Amino acid sequence: MDNIENTKLGKLKIIKAGSLCSIQDLGRKGWAFYAIPQSGAMDSKSASLANEILGNPENNPVIECTGIAATIEFQSDASISLTGGDPSWLIDGQPISRYKNITIKKGQILSGGKITHGFRSYIAINGILETQEIYGSSSFYLNANIGGHNGQLIKAGDVLKWHEIQSTKATNFTNKPRPFISKIKLKKGPEFDFLDTQSKSALTENVFYISKDSNRMGARLEGDKLSDRLHCTQPSLLNSVVVFPGILQVPPSGQILVILQDGQTTGGYPRIAYIDASHLDFFNQIAIGRAVKFQLKK
């Protein structure tokens, strides 16, 4: 990144952005003590893969689309890669595959629809996006309005600029799409034994759904049956305890609450389990309204 000022500048214009489109990298690490969440790509593996395909550093900031693809007019030539969920990407109306190095020309338009086989799609550019960098991370964090594009979500009309970098890999490097997995591995949390016997079985036998009341801070899970509400013998804790991305809490309502990337760092409900680190990316690709099943690691 030496002499970044001398590198060629690229530009793109956002024509349409979904309601939750932002710039993310692999997160703001080491500040959780001060209740500053890590943030970062919800599917970190897909984000770093997008960079790997272009020969970028894996922590290079990327564009994260949620639920629906952004429509982008490239105002400079660029090499890009598209990973994560599948919004049926198009360039000037022509279908384009994900997980490969794509050349896009000045004036061409990248677009797509509703994201399927996942919930979040990533766009990496062979360059370093101009971002607001806070504590070594470009990840946008909504509550504090820091990081990303001027501390804001990406919206229609925004112009993003990037500094071109030399790729270190062959330009035809491709990768297989990541699998979509909705059976999520759990490990027992500190208060697992607060769950009554029925709730312990419900946790792994029942099917839960991602509630529409979910965001980058946390996901609420709902079910059709009364037994989908879990019951703890001690519904709330006497003192505040630590929570972190991937942990499952059971509030008095019995509806599981999963803390995610932008989530708080302390809470007061029993922490019954946590998502295995290798499966948090998969969990975050499950769309609102879609089913999730848990598998408890012995």
Partner 1 sequence: MLKSVQLNNIDLEVRNFNGDFILLSLLSNKNAVGLCLFGKAILDKNFDFIEEVIATETEIYLKLNKLFNPNKLEQIKDIEIPSAVQSAEIKIPIYFEVEGDWKTIENISGINKQQYIEKLLKLDFTIAMFGFLPGFVYMNGLPKNMQIPRKATAAKYIPKNSLAIGNQYMGIYSLNSPGGWNVIGQLPISILDFDSLPAICLQPSDKIKFDQIDYASYSLLKNKSISIKEYNG
User: Contact residues for partner 1 (CB under 8 A)?
Assistant: 29-38, 134-135, 143-144, 146, 187-190, 238-242, 244, 264-266, 274, 277, 297
Shortest distance in whole angstroms from residue 19 CB to partner 1 = 19
9's enclosing H/E stretch is strand 9-16
133-157 core/surface letters (b: 16 or more CB in 10 A; e: else): ebeebbbbbbeeebbbbeebbbeee
Residues with Cβ within 8 Å of 298's Cβ and at least 6 positions away in sequence, in order, are none
Cα–Cα distance, 285 to 207 (Å, whole number): 16
Closest approach, Cβ 264 to partner 1, in A, equals 5
Find, among 129, 136, 139, 106, the residue nearest to 40 by Cα: 139
- Kindly tell me which of 31 and 180 has the beta carbon lying closer to partner 1: 31
Q: In angstroms, what is the minimal distance from the CB of 267 to partner 1? A: 8
Distance separating alpha carbons of residues 127 and 140, to the nearest angstrom: 18
C-beta of 101: minimal distance to partner 1 in Å? 30
Least distance between partner 1 and beta carbon 176 (Å): 25
Nearer to partner 1 by C-beta: 122 or 141? 141
Nearer to partner 1, 76 or 249 (CB): 249
C-beta of 225 vs 298, nearer to partner 1:
298
Question: Minimum distance from CB of 44 to partner 1 (Å)?
Answer: 14
Residue closer to partner 1 (CB basis): 241 or 288:
241
Nearer to partner 1, 15 or 241 (CB): 241
The residue among 67 and 190 lying less far from partner 1, judged by its C-beta, is 190
49: enclosing H helix or E strand: helix 44-54
How far apart CA 167 and CA 56 sit, in angstroms, is: 6
Please state, in angstroms and as integers, the Cα–Cα distance from residue 163 to each residue in 3, 27, 87, 166, 194, following that order. 10, 21, 27, 10, 52
Shortest Å distance, C-beta 244 to partner 1: 7
Query: Which is it for strands 183-188 and 291-296: parallel, antiparallel or unpaired?
Result: parallel
